[in-house]
Amino acid sequence: SQKIEQNSEALNIQEGKTATLTCNYTNYSPAYLQWYRQDPGRGPVFLLLIRENEKEKRKERLKVTFDTTLKQSLFHITASQPADSATYLCAPTQGSGSARQLTFGSGTQLTVLP
């Protein structure tokens, strides 16, 4: 069956350091992979999408890599700030159909310590 694993439920890092979150998937062949941010008591918010033919994508302090051989995506936040503290969800997405059915990992809770 399809499975998504995100590294450790919780990750604590010091302000200014780079946070690296991992998303591994099995029994999937996603056409692309999305990352979302979720703050307590709120719905997820889209951050980045990376396609299978893209190795890396950047947006401001965020960087995502996608390795279809390893079946893994890495999500980096550089120069982290306390405001980056949130739960981050990955969603490998298979590309068929008019409505994309996303399957989400359970998330990694990131805390950036001042």
92 contacts another protein (rule: CB under 8 A): no
User: 84: which residues sit within 8 A by CB, 6+ positions away?
Assistant: 19, 77, 110, 112
102 contacts another protein (rule: CB under 8 A): yes
97 contacts another protein (rule: CB under 8 A): yes
Q: Is 65 exposed, middle or buried (0-12, 13-18, 19+ CB in 10 A)?
A: middle
Q: Which two tokens stand for residue 8?
A: 């450790």
Contact call for residues 11 and 84 (beta carbons, < 8 A): no
Q: Which is nearer to another protein, 24 or 80 (CB)?
A: 24
Q: Which residues inside 23-62 make contact with another protein, applying CB under 8 A?
A: 32, 34, 41-46, 49
113 contacts another protein (rule: CB under 8 A): no
Q: Which residues bind another protein (CB under 8 A)?
A: 4, 9, 32, 34, 41-46, 49, 89, 93, 97-107
